[in-house]
Chains A and B, each alone.
Chain A
Amino acid sequence: MKIDGDTIGLADRYEAQWGYPVAKRPVFGSQIKIRGTQSYDGELRVEGLYSTDNVVASKATPVTGVLPSVTVVVEETDIQSPTPVKKTWTFVGQLPSFQKTGQADQFAVFRMTLDLSAEPVCT
């Protein structure tokens, strides 16, 4: 996984969801609602071991008052005969939330949530 080109070597779990909510409005004299497709919403949640070279926190800081646009690239390889296929998912958004937890004699963990500004692209 890479964030703006920097590799996050210890990310070990991610969860992404995105879509277009449907607005439903009841109309008079009918039990069937009308439906309207609303605006896009999505987020990518990443969790992993925190290491001292982790740069994610710096992406969650506004630059001249604005959270910067961040690109996260996830590379996955599935197993397909005869050769494994590599897929790259690209997520673009802003990082309004960064979380870091630690415990004595244990490892530190980071979590980030990327608010997606566009649909992810898979190549």
Chain B
Amino acid sequence: MPKTEEEKIEATLKILEKWPEDCPNKPTLMQALLDPNILHSRDLLEDPGIATLTSALGTVELYHLEVPRELLPVKLEESEIPGRHGDIRHYRGDKSPFLELKGTLDSSSEYDALKTTLVAMRRGQDANPISITVRCGASAYINGIQYWVDEIEIEPEPGFGIMWARYRIPCIKRD
């Protein structure tokens, strides 16, 4: 953990170097020093994205994640009661939690990371599980949990002079 001011600046620079050069929303050093939370990195030791997907085959950072939606499904068995409307239910266990990562990308580098790196990671996810970390500010509340990555959607938006697209990455927790 960086302690001195020099170490903090050095650690901040290292995180900033990981951001794609072509990302127009890449923080400046001054922004990062004034507001370290913009780096989504506790103690300046973590990855730079709001979410990080990593496996032995590569790492993808999501810098502009907007909605990390979770669904916690359940198996409820239904039983009907003769002579009554409505059902009674019995708890039969939890189903695998679902995580959907929705956000925006604003550079070709981020597009390539999803289209190439993440797809390659997905192709090899049987043998090389993909771990996902999602941070709220600098705090990782989903921390290195293994998920199956499902069908990735990338929807480019018109009216921007750069690569600008919405993405959706559905994931199902590995059990």
Contact = CB atoms under 8 A, between A and B. Distances in A.
Contact of B104 (A29, A30, A34): A34
A101 interface: no
Nearest to B160: A36
Contact of B64 (A27, A37, A38, A39): A27
B35 A28 contact: no
A36 B24 contact: yes
Interface size class of A (residues with CB under 8 A): 10 to 19
A13 interface: no
Given A29-B40, A32-B38, A37 B160 contact: yes
Contacts, number: 52
Q: How would you classify the secondary structure of chain A's contact residues: helix, strand, loop or mixed? A: loop
A82 interface: no
A46 B130 CA distance: 61
Nearest to A20: B161
B25 interface: yes
- Identify which of A23, A25, A27, A38 gathers the most chain B CB atoms within 10 Å of its CB: A27
